Amino acid sequence: MFQRIVVPLDGSCLAEWALPHAINLVRALDIQLVLIRVMQQADGSHRQYPADPIALDAVQAEAAAYLDSVASKLGALGLHPETRILEGETVDQIINFVRQDGQTLLVMTSHGIGGISHYMLGSVAHKSILQAHVSFLLVRAFSDQCQTLQEYHYNRITVPLDGSSRSECVLPIVELLSRHNESTVDLISVVPSLGHHYQIDKNDSRLGKVLELQTEFKERLVAYLDRIGDRLKNESLHVQTQVKIADSPISTIWEVTRKAQSDLVIMAAHGRNCVNHWPLGALPLNALVYGETPLLVLQDLEPEEIEPTFAEKAAAEAWGH
């Protein structure tokens, strides 16, 4: 499934909020943990690190000492992470590093050294996740208080499914995490309200047929979730299923997640209505930008399958390659 977990750290307590989640994932998936630190800009210029060799050595020594300190703390918990120092523009270095191996899970926080803001995502997280085109776990970091380094526990995991095989690609990791955490897994599907979608008046004679079709869709999804739920229960997992009819499927999923006090949402990057040239479908993109819960998204497309954005094409032309 994955060969390594990569956690970018910038020396801030905010970025370290990713570590408790990384500990859980490393233990559940039994894979290598890699901590990376990208050399920061020394000033407002285009240089990414000091031109003075002595100053550069000092910055590199500080970065290495910081990573060694974090690695030592993780070592006390039985983990033995690899550490890497990268040089260059932060986002580009993160993207290039995680793309070196297609079996990488990127784990990072919503905010880092830039501090907490009224934006749901900091610029580094936003750019890295949308352009790396790999699976990721985004941890919401809205407190700059350093916390004790220990494993985060997922008591409840929410998994949206839409009936497609793409959405089911998350089930193996759901099973591993649920077993490791002894979690309750909430499988949820939402049927769009067809009357609302097509703006059919309650007095319209066609409404009865539309409601019949809506009920049929719901019954299919109920049977679908029951089959998956029964299979997971046969693996000794605690599973609950629910299918809802709603005007807004996306907002309904967040309401259910909030009400259940879910600790983690897991979903595929694309579902039934996959658009291959977009890195994320509507639901995971909305969750990334507006969600409140830690979000694990499994990328079901290879990086080369995702078309470059207009901005990426324009930048490539400007750079001459």
Domain boundaries of the chain, sorted by first residue: 4-152, 156-266
Topology (CATH level 3) of domain 156-266: Rossmann fold (3.40.50)
Chain centre distance of CA 189: 19
Is 156-266 the same fold as 4-152? yes
pTM of the model: 0.89
In CATH, which of 3.30.365.10, 3.40.470.10, 3.40.50.460, 3.40.50.620 is domain 4-152? Answer: 3.40.50.620
73's CB contacts (< 8 A; 6+ apart) are 149
Instruction: Return d(Cα 271, Cα 6) in angstroms, integer.
Output: 25
From first to last of its 321 residues, the chain has per-residue pLDDT tens of 899 999 999 888 999 999 999 999 999 999 999 999 998 655 444 445 555 677 777 778 888 999 999 999 999 999 999 999 998 899 999 999 999 876 899 999 998 777 666 667 788 999 999 999 999 999 998 777 777 899 999 999 999 999 999 999 999 999 999 999 999 999 999 998 877 777 777 788 777 888 888 899 999 999 999 999 999 999 999 999 999 998 888 889 989 999 999 999 999 999 888 777 788 998 999 999 888 899 999 998 887 888 887 777 777 777 665
Q: Is 65 exposed, middle or buried (0-12, 13-18, 19+ CB in 10 A)?
A: exposed
